[in-house]
Amino acid sequence: MLDIMRKNASGWIVKILFAVIIIVFVFAFGMSGLNSTGDPVLATVDDQVVTRAEFEAVYQRMAESVSRSNPEVSRDQFQTPEFRKMVLGDLLSRKLLLSEADKLGISASDKEVFAGIAAQKAFHDADGKFNKEHYAAILRQNRMTPAQFEADFKNQLIMGKVRAAVAASAQITPDQARQMFDWVGEKVRIDYIQVKSAMFVDDAAVSDADVKAYYDANKERFKVPDRIVLRELVFTPVELAKHQQVTDEEVAAYYAANQASMQEGEQVKARHILVMVKDSDSKEKKAEAKKKIDEVLAKAEAGADFAKLAQEYSEGPTGPSGGDLGWFGRGAMVPPFEQAAFDAAKGEVVGPVQTRFGWHVIKVEDHKEGSARTLDEAKDEIRLQIAQEKASEQVQDLLDQSLDRLVSGMKLEDIAKELGLAVTTTEPMPADFMTQAYGVAPEVAEALKGLAPGKAHESPVAINGGYMLVEKAEDIPASYMELDKVAPAITNMIKAQKTAELANNRAEEIHKALLADPAAAEKTFERKIATSDPFDRQGNIPDLGMSRELADAAFAAKDSAWLPKVYTVGNSAVIARLDQRIPAPESAWEGQKDFWMDQAGNVYKQELLAAYMDQLSKNATIEITRPDLLK
């Protein structure tokens, strides 16, 4: 197991320490029933095929799903062969699992399918119940029919049953869990000499010739891609609200009719310390938890810094932030916790309070009484609300009127002027950006990109909250940024490269001396040698920065000899050696044993599933017939 842990440290360690659960929604794969007659075959697995259309549709949905949940991921990352191979690999795994389910006689009934779909919160209304209209609307947004989605959901259930059957054989022992606890919880200190790049700024001169040479050699980095400028006529309640007239009388009437919603409830700002305990725990464990919380309460009542106590003792997710819960109102916390917090005075420490999560000590830092907003305080919000309500009733009518005029050949500017609306002109933007900017489908973005300047898209474009009519204003061809505009940035880049090189050269000299005659060199550089605070395998080294490479080398070191290479950490070159290993704290094991048993069990299940899928792949005949489509 430790081999698996070492190989996958960068992935699973983060998931364990921060409880990250990555869920790819079934929409990313909703392709059951796709008609791909005559389409090129991308790959085959035994007697099953993956067509180009099937792959491209799943690829687009996967990219959209990842983009929605991770906006920081750029579109360029979705264009890489690695991402496309990942999508294909998932498709092939699906086909292998479904084929295996068929051999094993594993299926899912219609009753299971509909119960599973009805349980999806994405399809629930405000009352928490499955809403058929909401369900259909979400499927339309994802360009799927109920038949496609339900067929694919059934496949998901079947595959889940196969995975569950495989994982059921995973048995973990306390010794294996303890291995994981020890490995994750171990820390080290290092001795190090840091050579900062900033020390060589005065030695890193950059000439105009250097800048010009860099620009010529890297010109593509300074290329501005093809861009387009659009004119838009937007039909959403938010946009059309700007053109609505709302009288003071309407605002006053709305305020009078909705005074209950103008109430701002009582709020408390608090911190807490949690010692976790479950009803299923043994009497001994419950007694131990109660003893611990009583000791914490005594320290808090004696005047100890509550935030520091939380960082040291709290077993809840807010522990690292000093137990800070921020402001919360009634209904946000479980009843016993809420009652204690709202009954306490500002600055008071109360507890121990028992909830289903365990024992709490609470410190109330501030208290705000409930109050009703006056008409003057609420009028702007009310005016906007009324304007949007009026506008929502006009969206379809104004859109229909605009479409009639568009079909007759009118320009957007003239349509807007005639209907009392306003056209907006976008800033120049890459055409590929439209998918992210507006949430439109890739094929719509391509259609807009292909418009001739002055031409309008023939149909409304669906956007969040409504629609828009779009007209191409201008095509701006690709061009290179002028040298004088990028020269400062290039100068900084070259200077950074030169200072880093000079720092590394100096560090190599020191490193060579330390390896040749450690005792003499350590005496020479004694004042430069520092010792870090403890750090874990994540590689965030205090006072140096993040370096997984250096952390891995430190944890792998067998003795305190200087490590065999110089490491780049941030803007420094670093020579290091292992100073001290610090085992995972023995005192934490008993309190966290159940957690690590669960985590080790999950890792073992993943290993079993991976081995199972690997065996299925080895026993299957898989052929990538069109590798060019993955590039």
Q: Where in the chain is the domain with CATH 1.10.4030.10?
A: 2-172+608-630
- Tens of pLDDT along 333-362? 888 898 898 898 888 999 899 988 889 999
Is the per-residue pLDDT at 92 higher than 90? no
- Mark out the alpha helices in 371-482 (DSSP H runs): 375-392, 395-407, 412-419, 434-438, 442-449
33 — pLDDT class (breaks 50, 70, 90): very low
Nearest to 45 by CA among 85, 98, 81, 83: 98
Is residue 12 within 8 Å of residue 3, measured between CB atoms? no
Question: In the CATH hierarchy, which fold is given to the domain comprising 266-369?
Answer: Chitinase A; domain 3 (3.10.50)
Cis peptide before 335 (omega within 30 of 0): no
- Tens of pLDDT along 361-381? 999 998 887 767 778 878 888
Is residue 185 within 8 Å of residue 585, measured between CB atoms? yes
Question: In the CATH hierarchy, which fold is given to the domain comprising 187-221+483-582?
Answer: Chitinase A; domain 3 (3.10.50)
- Tens of pLDDT along 139-178? 876 667 888 888 888 988 998 888 888 888 778 889 989 9
Give pLDDT, residue 69: 66
CATH, range 2-172+608-630: 1.10.4030.10
Q: Where in the chain is the domain with CATH 3.10.50.40?
A: 266-369
- Tens of pLDDT along 524-533? 999 999 999 9
Mean per-residue pLDDT, 125-143: 80
> Per-residue DSSP letters for 592-615?
HHHHHHHHHHHHHHHHHHHHHHHH
Question: In the CATH hierarchy, which fold is given to the domain comprising 227-238+393-477?
Answer: Chitinase A; domain 3 (3.10.50)
Identify the three-state secondary structure at position 227.
Answer: strand
- Tens of pLDDT along 411-459? 999 998 988 888 989 888 887 777 666 666 777 888 888 889 999 888 8
Give pLDDT, residue 490: 93
Give the lowest-confidence range in 57-61, 184-188, 230-234: 57-61
pTM: 0.53
Is the per-residue pLDDT at 28 higher than 90? no
Between CA 347 and CA 300 the distance in angstroms is: 11
